[in-house]
Amino acid sequence: MNDRAGLVRLSCLLLSLIFTRCVSDTPEREAKSALMENNKNTTSPGNNLTGATPSTSRPPTMPENCSDRSWRGARDCPNNLPCHMLPRECLDCNFNCSCEYGHHINVTCQPKKDLDCEGKKELTVGMVCRYCYQTASWEHTCLGTDQCLAVTSPRETFTSNCTVKSEVVCLGNRVFPKKLPCNWTSGYKWSTALLLSITLGGFGADRFYLGHWQEGIGKLFSFGGLGVWTIIDVILIAIRYLGPADGSLYI
């Protein structure tokens, strides 16, 4: 009986110690949580210690220098012309590099250094605020190439050097790279290829015309694959799937 009473007394003592420990830990935990939350708020990116709103720097919409760095010098420009008739690439203009895109503005231009022209040297020229590479396709000319396949799917592209036309005024370099689809041709006519395929396709004339001479020989000696190959080629040429062997487009 005494042993049982002693066990009960010991159990009560342990429970009281555990309860006391939990109660004493609660304020400490709350204090630590509050301290951590305070530190988090004071060190977060959206807050600072002084309470002032942090400054956000916005990058400029255009660089400080937006003049042409790719074009000709004064000795490449015509002399003894009226200054207002000079090509725009022969003028040095004071561009407003912070202008708003698409707006019509006026800029002050002078002939390039050491360039002789007649009349007033300081000119006011109207322009649209945009970089040269943002001009429309009819406002610049680009160099083509025949070193790509124009009849692949998807069509190949190549990087060309494009030059803004003389009457256009724009920001930045007047010569710029541009990615274009491969669209060159070497003179093969689609109508001629289709006519040969219908009339002489059994002898491989269409394949010989397009430059597929190996298939043409096979088609010739197999009599157009007994007619099956001929019909297939007529369909392929009709839908422009079968093109010249050099990878060019039909005209």
* Residues pairing with 216 in the sheet: none
Q: Is the pLDDT of residue 238 over 90?
A: yes
Q: How far apart are CA 59 and CA 194, in angstroms?
A: 58
Per-residue pLDDT of 30-81, as tens digits, reads 545 554 555 444 443 333 334 444 344 333 444 456 878 776 655 678 888 8
Strands (E), the chain: 81-82, 91-94, 104-111, 117-118, 123-128, 140-142, 157-164, 175-181
- The residue that leads in pLDDT, 20 or 240, is 240
User: Which tokens in the block code for residue 172?
Assistant: 């930045």
Q: What is the pLDDT of residues 164-199, one digit of tens each?
A: 998 999 999 999 999 998 888 888 999 999 999 999
**Cβ atoms 86, 166 nearer than 8 A:** no
Q: What is the pLDDT of residues 218-228, one digit of tens each?
A: 999 998 899 99
Gap between the Cα atoms of 88 and 109, Å rounded: 9
Work out the pLDDT band at 151, boundaries 50, 70, 90: confident
| Whether pTM exceeds 0.75 | no
Contact, 167 vs 161, CB < 8 A?
no
Residue 9 corresponds to which amino acid?
A: R
